[in-house]
Structure 1
Amino acid sequence: MQISAETGVMYAWGDDKKENPIECMLVMSEDNPGVWEPLGFNSIEGFTYVRGHEYYLSVRRTILANPPADASDRTYSLIRILEDRVVTEPEVPVDEEITSEEDIEYHDLCPFEKYAISKEFVVDKDGNIYYGDGSSLPSYDNARIWLEDVLDKEDPNWVKFQTVSYQATYSYVFSPFTDDIRLIRNDSHGPMFKSVIPEDEFTRIIQTMQSGEEVRYALILANVYKKGLQKLEFTIKKQ
């Protein structure tokens, strides 16, 4: 069995309307070669998945004669890990025709207010990062800009907006320090802080900005086809 470094989305048994997407592994097995299939994180006994790792496993598959009504008819247990490889995300190329915000094509029904992020981040002279309310983030290398799904479940398009076409796979980054547009990959929770604000820009904020000064960044979230979903803006303020 091969396990992708990227995760997917699955739905619980009985969730026929697909109202509650669940993050899961993507696996490819000898049963269905060439096809990535969803599998729950805890579905392989003895194996713990780490995001960003690609695995090749030897597993024991058991097909159940009388499976539970709300579960799969097969179970898996780990025999051994054949390969465990950390996958480094390559820089995502931006289409040469995209030189401004107006060049980004939006997907059907978009832009739409599906996601939200914190509107303000604060950085002190030592490079510590805080939310606007004063709560701290992890270090620069480990901080994340979290994407919160705020779409009302009563919205008539709620189910449609949970499909892959409306998931924020990428972000187009608009920086106050350059006219270049960068395209970065998000994961299921949002982009890493250091992907949005590269080290040279973060150093510039720490070393050259005055106390109280702030700069504004913008993200245009995009789906797997690199079509826009919505625009989000936030500020970084020097403490």
Structure 2
Amino acid sequence: MKNKNFFRMLLMAFLAVVGLTACSDDDGPKDSAKEIRMLVSAETGVMYAWGDDMKENPIECLLVKTEGDSEEWQNLGFEQIKGFTYERGHEYYLSVKRTILANPPADASDRTYELIRVLEDRLVADPEIPIDKEIKTEADIEYYDLCPFEKYAISKEFIVDKDGKILYGDGSSLPSYEHARIWLEKVLDMEDPNWVKFQTAPYQAYYSFVLSPFSDNIRLVRNESSGPMFKNVVPEDEFTRITQSMNSGEEVRYALILANVYKKGLQKVEFTIKKQ
């Protein structure tokens, strides 16, 4: 009888421990899933793998805006929306299942995405934008309000070789011609008395007027939130001329007059392209 009572008590203690463990699991943090809307840009961005602190290996990625997140374009890997296939030149509006992980991996995002359905798939037109017929020279570009002011900076020098590989002046590489971007870096000092004002929409560089060394025509291209695509600033015929016709050490100078949503100038920035 004593043995039976002992085993009965042991069994009850074991079941109590199991029950406590189950309760503990139920009360622990859980993943949170929600259907949201996501906008995927027709342009792509560049991101870097976790641990690539020197940013030596740029990776092309999607540019997305997601419901409930920042209004700025965010980088997202091509494979990070399960069930979605991206086609270049298309802008998408998606319904996706977003899951925020309760216990994400230390070296990965705390959220995952899975396509529910494509709400809109739009082929984006050529990124060169028509400009007023009156704008024929740099002097015809009207500047906005307090501009020009030093809010943006870009790399001052790009280097290309005969095979079309693009490098920054310091030797670090860019993605291919098709995917490289001329990044606009915000350098305005926060102590500037107009800093708050300059963060509003009329002072954001939505467009760039392109002044090319190979043409007298002024073109207008879209910047998005991080800068224009390299191929839009330096079209294929000019890039071929640089890579195939220029001699080693020769360089050409381009200029961008950054413009706001009203296509009025904000600031002029310049850069050179040198043949390696």
Is TM > 0.5 for Structure 1 vs Structure 2? yes
Partner of 1:25: 65
Provide the rounded CA distance (Å) in 2 between the counterparts of 1:82 and 1:203.
38
1:145 aligned onto 2:182: yes
CA contact (8 A) 2:38 2:64 kept: no
1:85 aligned onto 2:89: no
Q: Which of 1 and 2 has greater Rg?
A: 2
Which deviates more from structure 2 when the two are superposed, residues 198-207 or residues 158-167? 158-167
Deviation of 1:52 (Å): 6.1
CA contact (8 A) 1:222 1:229 kept: yes
Provide the rounded CA distance (Å) in 2 between the counterparts of 1:38 and 1:197.
29
CA contact (8 A) 2:181 2:228 kept: yes
Q: 1:89 to 1:177 in 2, by over 3 A?
A: same
CA contact (8 A) 1:114 1:150 kept: yes
Partner of 2:227: 190
Provide the rounded CA distance (Å) in 1 between the counterparts of 2:214 and 2:160.
16
> What is the total number of aligned residue pairs between the two structures?
196
SS at match of 1:173: strand
CA contact (8 A) 1:55 1:81 kept: no
SS at match of 2:129: coil
Gaps of 5+ in 1: 8-22, 28-36, 61-76
CA contact (8 A) 2:37 2:95 kept: yes
Deviation of 1:82 (Å): 3.9
Partner of 1:167: 204
Gaps of 5+ in 2: 1-35, 43-62, 99-112
**Seq. identity, %:** 62
Provide the rounded CA distance (Å) in 1 between the counterparts of 2:90 and 2:201.
19
Higher helix share: 2
The partner residue of 1:55 within 93, 110, 119 is 93
Q: 1:79 to 1:124 in 2, by over 3 A?
A: closer
Give the alignment's Cα RMSD to 1 decimal: 3.2
Q: 1:100 to 1:80 in 2, by over 3 A?
A: same
What TM-score does the superposition give when structure 2 sets the normalisation length?
0.62
Provide the rounded CA distance (Å) in 1 between the counterparts of 2:223 and 2:186.
14
Q: 1:79 to 1:199 in 2, by over 3 A?
A: closer
Provide the rounded CA distance (Å) in 2 between the counterparts of 1:25 and 1:164.
18
